[in-house]
Amino acid sequence: MSSPHPLLHTTPLSLETDKLANLLVNVENVLIIQDLDGVCMGLVKDPLTRVIDLGYVKATKIFDGHFFVLTNGEHTGRRGVNRIVETAAGSESYARDARLYLPGLAAGGVQWQDRDGQVSHPGVSDAEMAFLQTVPQRIAQRLKQFCDDYPEAIEIDRVQSSIDAAVLDNIASPTANLNVFYEQLQDKPETYVVLQQAMQQLMEELLEDAASQGLTDSFFVHYAPNLGRDDRGLEIVRFAKEGDSGTTDFQFMIRGAIKEAGVLAILNRYYYRRTGTYPLGEDFSVRNAPKRHEELLELVKTHFDPHQMPVLVGVGDTVNSTVERDGDRYVVRRGGSDRNFLQLIQDIGNAFYKGNTVVYVDSSGGEVKNRKPLKIEKQGEASVVLEGPGDTRDGDDPLVLNMAFAGGHPEYSQFFQTVAHARQEKFRLRLVP
Q: What pLDDT digit, counting tens, does each position of 3-48 carry? A: 345 556 667 899 999 999 999 999 999 999 999 999 999 999 888 8
Q: Residue 295 and residue 283: Cα distance in Å, rounded?
A: 19
Same domain, 318 and 422: yes
Query: Where residue 227 falls among pLDDT bands split at 50, 70, 90?
Result: confident
Check whether 358 has a pLDDT greater than 60.
yes
Query: Where residue 429 falls among pLDDT bands split at 50, 70, 90?
Result: low
Contact 36, 430 (CB under 8 A): no
Q: What is the mean pLDDT of residues 305-312?
A: 98
Same domain, 233 and 355: no
Q: What is the mean pLDDT of residues 95-115?
A: 96
Q: What is the mean pLDDT of residues 87-104?
A: 97
Last residue of a domain, one of 254, 285, 317: 254
Check whether 359 has a pLDDT greater than 90.
yes
pLDDT, position 10: 60
Check whether 362 has a pLDDT greater than 90.
yes
pLDDT, position 1: 33
Contact 312, 285 (CB under 8 A): no
Same domain, 313 and 419: yes
Who's near 256: CB < 8 A, 6+ residues apart?
Answer: 109, 110, 123, 285, 286, 287, 288, 289, 291
* Host domain of residue 223: 134-170+174-254
Same domain, 59 and 192: no
Which sign, positive or negative, has the C-alpha torsion 366, 367, 370, 376? positive
Same domain, 241 and 307: no
Q: What is the mean pLDDT of residues 288-312?
A: 96
Into how many domains does the chain fold? Answer: 2
Task: Decide if 99 is inside a domain.
Answer: no
Same domain, 206 and 187: yes
User: What SS3 class is residue 319?
Assistant: coil
Q: What is the mean pLDDT of residues 257-281?
A: 96
Task: Decide if 153 is inside a domain.
Answer: yes
pLDDT, position 241: 87
Q: What is the mean pLDDT of residues 347-369?
A: 93
Same domain, 233 and 371: no
Same domain, 320 and 202: no
Last residue of a domain, one of 223, 254, 285: 254
Q: What is the mean pLDDT of residues 80-84?
A: 96
Nearest of 346, 233, 339 to residue 300 by alpha carbon? 346
Average pLDDT in the chain: 93
Check whether 272 has a pLDDT greater than 80.
yes
Q: What is the mean pLDDT of residues 321-336?
A: 87
Task: Decide if 409 is inside a domain.
Answer: yes
pLDDT, position 324: 84
Q: What is the mean pLDDT of residues 139-148?
A: 97
The per-residue pLDDT for range 191-209, each reduced to its tens digit, is 999 999 999 999 999 999 9
Query: Where residue 431 falls among pLDDT bands split at 50, 70, 90?
Result: low
Task: Decide if 300 is inside a domain.
Answer: yes
Same domain, 238 and 278: no
Q: Which residues pair with 320 in a beta bridge?
A: 335
Last residue of a domain, one of 195, 228, 254: 254
Task: Decide if 103 is inside a domain.
Answer: no
Longest C-alpha distance within the chain, in Å? 64
Same domain, 307 and 188: no
